[in-house]
Amino acid sequence: MSLLQGRTTTRKSNPMLQKTRALRRASDAASARAAVTARRPMTILGVTAATLVGITLSVGLASTSAAAAMSPAIAVAAPALSGAEPLAQITRDASSTRVEARSAVAAAEAVTADVAASGLDVGASTSVDTSELERGIDKLADSEVTPLLLVGVVTDDVETELAEVVSDTEDLRAALTAAQEKRAAEEAAAAAAKAAAEHAAAERAAAAALASANTVEGAKASAQQQMSSRYGWGGDQFSCLDSLWTKESGWNYQAYNADGGATGIPQALPGSKMASAGADWQTSAATQIAWGLEYISAAYGTPCSAWSHSQAMNWY
């Protein structure tokens, strides 16, 4: 047996030496793991501090993303800030709130303009203050240069101011509507009162005209007007008519002959015949005259012919 062979045999046949080396390697590995574990909290703390400093310096999430690219521990320290969906949601919320806020400002300006144009008393408040909401809209419009986490805070503030503006707008619109309804009711009442007054005046005028027409002179004037306009009869025919009806009734629309029942200025027999000229035949000299002229025209042709018959027969 050679010397080399003897050494090889000795190395393979020494299990104690092999065990000692294995224990040493295991010990070294355990020490390395302990060192890593001891350094991990400090790494996380450092990452968190760096993130906060990045937000304070308006670097925002970009700082977090850059650090995460260099060290996976950042992603572990702030998982909620690095997710694509939460970040996109913040942006969507800001955009939606900005649109709603602009609509609210437009509605507030519209109702304020309506109140001013109406000239109505709507109470102490005549406008909606949108200045704070408009400033919030401007801040949201600058969201591209604002740290993303601060955008969420601004959005919440704008939503609070938005709710207040919407409420104030609704209140002012309700006050304007109430004032408009009140004015409409007052105008309707005034119109009704005016119509009633005009109707009463018209009735008084009609009553006065009727009373005037029912006098002897009024009846004669009505007869002259109707003779001329309806039959073309002039003054000579009126002279005959005047003689005829002076003899019959004295131009009294209330005349009544108890012996035969003849009634009114033309002494219609019976008096109800005159209803063909108007339902007011009992109270209107003009209606009685209209019926009498029609009767004379149909029966005698002219008042003078009727007067001649009356003179000869003592009736017509």
In this prediction, what percent of the chain has a pLDDT beyond 90? 64
Bridge partners of residue 263, in order along the sequence: 256, 268
The mean pLDDT value of the chain amounts to 80
pTM beyond 0.85: no
Residue 149 lies in a domain: yes
For range 77-92, the mean pLDDT: 63
For range 188-205, the mean pLDDT: 96
Question: pLDDT digits over 251-306, tens only?
Answer: 999 999 998 899 999 999 999 999 999 999 999 999 999 999 999 999 999 999 99
Residue 145 lies in a domain: yes
- Of 46, 66, 81, the residue at which a domain comes to its end is 81
Bridge partners of residue 256, in order along the sequence: 263
- Of 66, 81, 96, the residue at which a domain comes to its end is 81
Residue 153 lies in a domain: yes
Burial class (CB in 10 A: 0-12, 13-18, 19+), 91: middle
Residue 207 lies in a domain: no
What is the extent of the structural domain holding 307?
Answer: 218-313
Residue 199 lies in a domain: no
Residue 206 lies in a domain: no
Same domain as 61, residue 101: no
Query: Is pLDDT larger for residue 57 or for residue 292?
Result: 292
Same domain as 87, residue 71: no
Helices 131-141 and 84-118 cross at an angle (nearest 10°) of: 150
Considering only 3-17, 76-90, 135-149, 211-225, which range has the smallest mean pLDDT?
A: 3-17
Same domain as 18, residue 112: no
Question: pLDDT digits over 134-158, tens only?
Answer: 999 999 988 667 777 788 899 999 9
Query: Is pLDDT larger for residue 307 or for residue 7?
Result: 307
Q: How many CB atoms lie within 10 A of CB 138?
A: 10
Q: How far apart are CA 312 and CA 39, in angstroms?
A: 150
Residue 210 lies in a domain: no
Contact 262, 277 (CB under 8 A): no
Question: Total structural domains in the chain?
Answer: 3
Which pair of tokens denotes residue 137? 């809209």
Q: String of b and e for 221-252 (b: at least 16 CB within 10 Å)?
A: ebbbebbeeebebeeebbebbbebbeebbebb
- Of 56, 81, 106, the residue at which a domain comes to its end is 81
pLDDT(76) > 70: no
Question: pLDDT digits over 6-48, tens only?
Answer: 333 333 444 443 343 444 444 444 454 444 334 333 333 333 3
Residue 21 lies in a domain: yes
Same domain as 294, residue 231: yes
Same domain as 64, residue 149: no
Same domain as 116, residue 21: no
For range 203-217, the mean pLDDT: 90
Same domain as 101, residue 173: yes
Query: Is pLDDT larger for residue 230 or for residue 35?
Result: 230
Considering only 78-87, 92-101, 192-201, which range has the smallest mean pLDDT?
A: 78-87
Same domain as 91, residue 63: no
Same domain as 109, residue 73: no
Same domain as 164, residue 103: yes
Same domain as 106, residue 145: yes
In this prediction, what percent of the chain has a pLDDT beyond 70? 72
Same domain as 92, residue 184: yes
